[in-house]
């Protein structure tokens, strides 16, 4: 009993608990929608969405499906890290989608038009994303433009620009709206798998991108939690004026933060398009969802880079699971529905935590100190929550 | 040329309506990034109404019912924003983004389920409304006049009047500028913000149905509203949160949108051979440039985006 009391007050346990509440409520609402559409197969469908690759019949098929999910988790994780990193510095990087587009654009262009090897393409993609991020940052630092608004505008500008650049002769397949397949255009631009695909029934899309993305997550966590640089950035985000007074270059910090965020998202795009998983469609008219799903993974991961790894995998897994359900009865968008409900519920996380704290202190001390404990935990959270 | 004029006016109507919606919400202090989602929901409400109305319904009833349900669904959907951001003080950017994703997913799921329940082989996410759509149209020569154009104009005038000439409007704006001061003189900030959010649901929902009936007779809900909600946000900022300027901004951005659709039919523009993506990009580029030069002394409501807490100083 004493153990339990302790753990409920522990902020990281609370973060996990609130994320689980969001997931369970999201799945519950999804299940209700399935029941409303057709009660007969609803249980089976929700099971498929949750279990995803585990529902495949043979172990080979399971390994292959898991590989596919992981291959798409890597770019999602990078976008989530981009948003997570900026959020820790007090910036809402909704422009991750645009930075992702820039990364896709220049990564593919470097691969197909300049015939560069994969690691150069990765760097080019990262640089392109960083430039777009830095534009948002500079607008914020020098012209006081809200990064959310400039991010949204840049998302659309980059979408059209990418469509335009990737429609040029050197990179576009003349017979389809897609860019040339890397396997035929430039094999050297495919991220090597380094034997990883052997673990996943020779799934060719399983590449070094997956361990690299996880490495980035650890790196971001280290920067934020353990370095002076990370501390300065967080301080700038917490109070711009105070950090300026303390001798930090607040303008530079804002730009650097968004540039790093942009680089992460840009590399994320390269992690998808340089695996040969899919090609860029030059006729697409909406901003790719990867950047927005990254927001889901960030908040579901409790705004912690390591938590984001698991959250990204979960979001990608239910998305892939949604594609496996009986499509003649249920629409596959049901998993988009579930993940968007989960994002919506993440907005209530502060309230959930407050409720838990209230409940714990009421149980412990008859409610006398309820607010004191809640306030203290609130403060802990505001200080960053990273340990 | 007539086609260009027609598209410009109808797109401007959409942008004007939705941007005014954003304007009301932001003046009350709540940033509404979920406009795109509200438009999708309004479009869904209107399209389903048109689809379900029996053939032979009089034109007047079609126009009335479609408008009414689009507006109603839009308002209902905006409740999600109100509950989270006013009552539970959630992050407004996060909730707005969630609402955009949720709307497209929910609308697609709903339309597909509806289509399959009518015909098991139909798994498309599209609704057709060829016949009922004609109720909105009137031809003046080649110009396709749409009753929604009048609605947009009327609502623009009403919005201007409400915001600047009524007690309600001035109080609403006070809540977005300095909620503490507004509260101290007895204005209920929560009620005012709820009013702002619901009005944005009303106008956003209407904008949604106008948009999907503008050029085509069937709509695939998988596409959402193709970024028009975000374009409306740009219109609102370009219009500096003032109804009259919003109307002008809507006309300008509407023109660019229309150009990207019809430029091939206009001699000298087709000769210049600028790809349509450039016309599509222009509104966003203009917005960013304008923002860069005006944000230092921006007219944006001072307290927008900050949840109101009675206990705070």
pLDDT band at B25 (very low <50, low <70, confident <90, very high): very high
Residues of B in contact with A157 (CB under 8 A): 281, 284-285, 288
Residue A285 to residues A94, A277, B227: CA-CA distances in angstroms? 18, 20, 9
Are B33 and A346 in contact (CB < 8 Å)?
A: no
- Kindly report the length of chain A: 387
Nearest by CB to A348, which of B88, B102, B108?
A: B88
Nearest by CB to A337, which of B85, B88, B105?
A: B105
Are A164 and B80 in contact (CB < 8 Å)?
A: no
Instruction: Give the total number of structural domains in chain A.
Output: 1
DSSP reduced 3-state for A95: coil
- Residue whose pair of structure tokens reads 């000439």 in the numeric block: B165
Domain carrying residue A216: 71-331
DSSP reduced 3-state for B145: strand
The alpha carbon of A138 is separated from its chain's Cα centroid by a whole number of angstroms, namely 24
A104, part of any domain: yes
- CA dihedral A188→A191→A192→A197, nearest 10 degrees, is -130
- The mean per-residue pLDDT over the stretch B237-260 comes to 89
Higher-pLDDT residue of A222, B134: A222
- Kindly report the length of chain B: 313
Domain ranges for chain B:
2-297
The reported pLDDT for the residue numbered A387 is 34
- Residue whose pair of structure tokens reads 């006729």 in the numeric block: A283
Longest dimension (CA), chain A: 73
**Residue ranges in chain A modelled with pLDDT below 50:** 1-4, 367, 370, 373-374, 380-387
CATH number at residue A241: 1.10.3470
The reported pLDDT for the residue numbered A366 is 59
**pLDDT tens digit string along B62-80?**
899 999 999 999 999 999 9
DSSP reduced 3-state for B218: strand
Nearest by CB to B102, which of A94, A286, A341?
A: A341
**pLDDT tens digit string along A10-48?**
777 888 888 898 899 999 999 999 998 888 888 888 888
A13, part of any domain: no
Residues of B in contact with A143 (CB under 8 A): 291-293, 295-296
Are B222 and A37 in contact (CB < 8 Å)?
A: no
Q: For A136-152, b where at least 16 C-beta lie within 10 A, e where not — what string?
A: bbbbbbeeebbbbbbbb
* Chain B residue at shortest CA distance from A150: B288
- Looking at 1.10.3470, 1.20.81, 3.40.390, 3.30.70, the CATH number of the domain B2-297 comes to 1.10.3470
Are A344 and B292 in contact (CB < 8 Å)?
A: no
pLDDT exceeds 90 at position B291: no
B83 touches chain A (CB under 8 A): no
B275 touches chain A (CB under 8 A): yes
Which site among A40, A300, A333 would you substitute to test the B interface, given the most B Cβ atoms closer than 10 Å to its Cβ?
A333
A376, part of any domain: no
Residues of B in contact with A336 (CB under 8 A): 101, 104-105, 108
Nearest by CB to B98, which of A153, A334, A347?
A: A347
Residues of A in contact with B90 (CB under 8 A): 347-348, 350-351
CA A345 to chain B, closest CA, distance in angstroms equals 9
Residues of A in contact with B93 (CB under 8 A): 92, 94, 148
B35 touches chain A (CB under 8 A): no
Nearest by CB to A149, which of B90, B100, B291?
A: B291
Nearest by CB to B98, which of A33, A144, A344?
A: A344
Nearest by CB to A160, which of B88, B102, B280?
A: B280
Cα–Cα distance for residue pair A305/A324, rounded to 1 Å: 29
Check if the interface score ipTM surpasses 0.90.
no
Residues of B in contact with A156 (CB under 8 A): 227, 230-231, 280-281, 284
Are A139 and B227 in contact (CB < 8 Å)?
A: no
Do B194 and B308 meet the contact criterion of CB atoms below 8 Å apart? no
Residue A356 to residues A302, B191, B274: CA-CA distances in angstroms? 16, 28, 58
Are A146 and B33 in contact (CB < 8 Å)?
A: no
A181, part of any domain: yes
CA A165 to chain B, closest CA, distance in angstroms equals 11
B52 touches chain A (CB under 8 A): no
pLDDT band at B3 (very low <50, low <70, confident <90, very high): confident
A44, part of any domain: no
A220, part of any domain: yes
Q: Is B296 exposed, middle or buried (0-12, 13-18, 19+ CB in 10 A)?
A: exposed
Q: Which residues pair with B219 in a beta bridge?
A: B127
DSSP reduced 3-state for B127: strand
- The mean per-residue pLDDT over the stretch B27-43 comes to 93
A2, part of any domain: no
The reported pLDDT for the residue numbered A7 is 67
A345, part of any domain: no
For every residue of A19-32, DSSP letters joined together read: HHHHHHHHHHHHHH
Q: Which pTM value belongs to this model?
A: 0.88
B123 touches chain A (CB under 8 A): yes
Nearest by CB to B93, which of A148, A153, A154?
A: A148
The reported pLDDT for the residue numbered A70 is 92
């Amino acid at each position: 009993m004493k153990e339990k009391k302790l753990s409920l007050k522990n902020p990281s346990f609370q973060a996990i608990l609130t994320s689980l509440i969001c997931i369970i409520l999201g799945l519950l609402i999804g299940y209700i929608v399935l029941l409303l559409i057709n009660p007969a197969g609803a249980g089976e469908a929700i099971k498929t969405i949750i279990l995803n690759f585990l529902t495949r019949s043979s172990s080979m098929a399971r390994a292959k499906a898991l590989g596919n999910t992981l291959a798409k988790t890597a770019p999602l994780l990078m976008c989530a890290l981009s948003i997570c990193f900026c959020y820790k510095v007090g910036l809402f990087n909704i422009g991750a989608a645009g930075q992702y587009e820039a990364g896709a654009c220049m990564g593919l262009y470097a691969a197909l038009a300049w015939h560069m090897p994969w690691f150069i393409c990765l760097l080019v993609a990262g640089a392109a994303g960083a430039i777009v991020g830095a534009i948002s940052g500079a607008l914020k630092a020098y012209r006081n433009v809200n990064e959310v608004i400039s991010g949204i505008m840049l998302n659309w500008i980059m979408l059209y620009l990418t469509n335009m650049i990737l429609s040029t002769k050197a990179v576009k397949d003349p017979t389809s709206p897609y860019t040339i397949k890397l396997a035929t255009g430039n094999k050297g631009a495919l991220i090597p798998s380094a034997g990883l695909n052997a673990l996943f029934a020779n799934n060719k899309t399983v590449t070094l991108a997956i361990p690299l993305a996880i490495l980035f997550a650890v790196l971001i966590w280290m920067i934020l939690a353990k370095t002076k640089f990370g501390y300065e950035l967080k301080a700038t985000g917490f109070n711009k004026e105070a950090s300026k007074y303390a001798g930090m270059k607040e303008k530079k910090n804002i730009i650097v933060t968004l540039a790093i965020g942009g680089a992460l998202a840009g590399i994320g795009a390269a992690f998808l398009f340089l695996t040969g998983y899919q090609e860029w469609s030059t006729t697409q008219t909406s901003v790719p969802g990867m950047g927005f799903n990254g927001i889901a993974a960030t908040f579901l991961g409790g705004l912690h880079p390591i938590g984001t790894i698991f959250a990204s995998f979960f979001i990608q897994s239910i998305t892939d699971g949604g594609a496996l359900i009986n499509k003649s009865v249920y629409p596959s968008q049901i998993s988009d529905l579930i993940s968007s409900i989960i994002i919506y519920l993440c907005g209530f996380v502060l309230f959930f935590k407050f409720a838990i704290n209230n409940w714990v202190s009421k149980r412990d001390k008859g409610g006398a100190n309820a607010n004191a404990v809640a306030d203290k935990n609130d403060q802990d959270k505001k200080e960053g929550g990273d340990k | 040329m007539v086609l260009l004029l027609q598209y410009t006016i109808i797109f401007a109507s959409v942008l004007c309506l939705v941007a005014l919606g954003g304007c009301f919400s932001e003046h009350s202090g709540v940033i509404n990034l979920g406009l795109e989602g509200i438009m999708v929901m309004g479009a869904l409400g209107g399209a389903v109404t048109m689809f379900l109305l029996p053939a032979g319904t009089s034109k007047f009833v079609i126009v009335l019912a479609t408008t009414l349900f689009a507006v109603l669904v839009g308002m209902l959907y905006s409740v999600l924003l109100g509950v989270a951001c006013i009552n539970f003080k959630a992050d407004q950017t996060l909730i707005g983004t969630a609402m955009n994703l949720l709307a497209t997913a929910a609308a697609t799921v709903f339309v597909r389920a509806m289509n399959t329940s009518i015909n098991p082989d139909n798994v498309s996410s599209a609704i057709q409304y060829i016949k009922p759509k004609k109720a909105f149209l009137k031809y003046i020569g080649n110009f396709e006049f749409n009753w929604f154009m009048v609605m947009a104009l009327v609502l623009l005038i009403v919005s201007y009047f409400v915001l600047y000439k009524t007690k309600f409007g001035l109080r609403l704006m006070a809540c977005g500028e300095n909620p503490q001061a507004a509260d101290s003189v007895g204005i209920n900030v929560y009620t005012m913000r709820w009013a702002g959010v619901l009005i944005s649901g009303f106008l956003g929902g209407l904008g949604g149905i106008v948009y999907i009936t503008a050029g085509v007779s069937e709509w695939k809900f998988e596409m959402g509203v193709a970024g028009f909600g975000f374009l409306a946000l740009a219109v609102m900022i370009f219009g500096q949160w003032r109804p009259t300027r919003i109307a002008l901004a809507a006309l300008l951005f509407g023109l660019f949108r229309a150009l990207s659709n019809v430029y091939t039919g206009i001699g000298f523009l087709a000769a210049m051979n600028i790809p349509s993506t450039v016309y599509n990009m222009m509104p966003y580029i203009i917005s960013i440039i304008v923002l860069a030069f005006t944000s230092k002394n921006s007219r944006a409501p001072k307290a927008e985006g900050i949840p109101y807490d009675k206990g705070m100083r």
